[in-house]
Amino acid sequence: MLYLWLKSAHIIFVIFWMAGLFMIPRFFVYHQESPEGSEEESRWVSRETRLIKIILNPSIIVVWAVGLLLAWHIDALSAGWFHVKLLFALCLSAYHGWVAGYAKKLAKGERKLSGKQLRLLNEVPGIAAAAIVIMVVAKPF
């Protein structure tokens, strides 16, 4: 029974986390398209900060805590598929850290990436999620 509760919690918080990771680059695009120093820009800073603090950060903590408990519970720690999943989860976590850092730069007025680059970065979570689902469902190794 514990397995089903852990699995449910993991899936729920992965959905929250992924939703935030898909949203934040789009926020950045709109933020960068707003005039510097405008009220609109300040609203984007507020939206980005709330998304990170209310959805992204709590979700990543629960995903990791429950995910590791789940892996331990099903004895997946030595499985090849789990190592690949773990690698992609670490990459997503690094991406999460990068977007949080970029939000701080944008809040300071530093607009280092183009809208096109940010739109491309929006594909990162989707690719990682696809790889993770394949590892968990198909368990190719």
User: Quick one: CA dihedral 53, 58, 61, 64, positive or negative?
Assistant: negative
Give the whole-angstrom CA distance, residue 97 versus residue 141: 29
Give the whole-angstrom CA distance, residue 72 versus residue 15: 21
Q: Supply 126's token pair.
A: 């989707």
Q: Is 10 annotated as a binding residue?
A: yes
Cα R_g (the chain), whole angstroms:
17
End-to-end CA distance of the chain: 26
Note whether 80 and 141 are within 8 A (CB): yes
Q: Is 73 annotated as a binding residue?
A: no
Cα dist from 17 to 27, 41, 76, 98, 121, whole Å: 15, 24, 22, 14, 16
Annotated binding-site residues read: 10, 85
Residue list, annotated binding site for heme: 10, 85
